[in-house]
Amino acid sequence: MRQFDYVIKDPEGLHARPAGLLVQCAKECTSKISISTSQASADAKKLFKVMGLGVASGEKFTVTVEGKDEAVDSDKIRAFLEANL
């Protein structure tokens, strides 16, 4: 299992467009990927669950990646977040 924290830098938070792109990126991974805030957790491969987290700009969340390709998938998700959020 791999975990890392990320703070949203986008002034609009985790809104529809980047959330959709994040889900697409997660779906390309073979590992199970979840996003957790202090109040809820969501499967990163399900758009409505990710949107339901309501992560605002400046808020931190934790990404957990589990699976046989977790190292590669974790790096892929982290790179996506840094480039888009």
**Domain containing 61 — which CATH number?**
3.30.1340.10
Please pick, among 4, 10, 15, 46, the residue that the annotation labels catalytic.
15
d(CA 49, CA 69): 23
Catalytic residue check, 74? no
Overall number of domains in the chain: 1
- pTM (two decimals): 0.92
23 is in which domain, residue-wise? 2-84
Give residue 33's identity as a one-letter amino acid code. Answer: I
Q: Using an 8 Å Cβ cutoff, are 59 and 81 in contact? A: no
Q: What is the pLDDT of residues 22-81, one digit of tens each?
A: 999 999 999 999 999 999 999 999 999 999 999 999 999 999 999 999 999 999 999 999
Residues 6+ apart with CB under 8 A from 31: 65, 66, 67, 68, 69, 70, 73, 74
DSSP reduced 3-state for 40: coil
